[in-house]
Each structure stands twice: as structure tokens, then as C-alpha cells.
Amino acid sequence: MFPAVRLPVLQIMPLCGLFAGFLVLGNLSLEYNTVAFYQLAKMLTGPCVVVLNFFLFRETISRLVLISVSIATAGVIIANGAFGLTHPLGAGIATAALVVTAVYQIWIKKTMVDLNVSAPQLLLNQAPVAVVLLLVLVPVFDTMPNLSKFSVLHPSLCCVATHLFVTLSV
């Protein structure tokens, strides 16, 4: 167990905004791109974090890590060429989602150091604020599924219900 700490909302608001941004932009990317392009773009998050850390903080990585990141990036580029081009708007949204996700990951680490908190302590404070932001943003930027198409016995709903039951009973 970890000791709960209360952080001022204004100190975690930028992090919550980035969290909401990466979720909303990720969903928009799925709406305007194929799943394959979306997955390939998400694979670039690691290399983007490495590049941003270098330019923002002059943080370097080992040669072996650089080689593996370079190989992964080359693989994404080659695979993406095989899938063909996507719509320019979709590519723009995927790029925005990529950058926001990378900045979010970097900002988590920075916030934990700046506020001297652990990951669970930060998440305990971030989650409620992020939920409020998402309640405002999701109806504006995302489409709601037509729930009348789903039966109560739909396999995915049964899986979700079972998962929630097991999680809450532990």
C-alpha cells in the first residue's frame, strides 16, 4: 500500500490535459485511419519519447537502445509503406496523438520528480481530474456507439461484466 497524498489540482492539470488529449486524439486517429496505420503510428511513441527527451533535456540513451529504436522506427516506416498512404487529415491527427502521447509520458516522469510522489500517488490525484476533463471533451470530439445494437448477452459485454465482477470482488 502507498500513503495517499493530496496534490493541488493546478499542479496536475497540465498532466490531466495531456492524458485527455492522448485519449481523444487516439480515438480520432482510429476514426480517420485504418487500425493498421493507427498501430504503426502508436509504435512510434517510444522513438518520439527518445527524440523529445534528447532535445528538451539533453538526455541520451545507450548505443544498443539507439540501434533497437532505429530498427523499430525503420520497420514502422517500411510497414507503413506497404499499407499505402492514409488520408492527410488522419495522418495529421495520428501525428498529433503521437506527440501528445510522448509528451504525456515524459511529463509523468517530470511531475513525479517535481512533486516527489510515486506513480500510484500521482495517479490517485490525476484520475478524478482527468475523468472530469474527459466527461467534457469526449461528447464533443468522439461519437457515441449505438448501444441499441448490443444485446445484454453480447459476448463483449459479458466479458466486461465478468472482468468488473472479478476485479471488484478481489
Q: What is the pTM (predicted TM-score) of this model?
A: 0.77
pLDDT digits (tens, 9 = 90+) for 87-115: 889 989 999 999 999 999 999 999 999 99
Give the pLDDT confidence score for residue 39 in this predicted structure. Answer: 84
Give the pLDDT confidence score for residue 2 in this predicted structure. Answer: 83
Give the pLDDT confidence score for residue 167 in this predicted structure. Answer: 63
Q: Residues with Cβ < 8 Å from 56, sequence gap 6 or more?
A: 106
Give the pLDDT confidence score for residue 141 in this predicted structure. Answer: 75
Q: What counts of helices (H) and strands (E) characterise the chain?
A: 7, 0
Q: Give every residue of the chain whose pLDDT is below 50, as ranges.
A: none
Based on its alpha-carbon atoms, the radius of gyration of the chain, rounded to whole angstroms, reads 19
Give the pLDDT confidence score for residue 155 in this predicted structure. Answer: 66
Return d(Cα 99, Cα 147) in angstroms, integer. 32
Element housing 52 (H / E)? helix 45-57
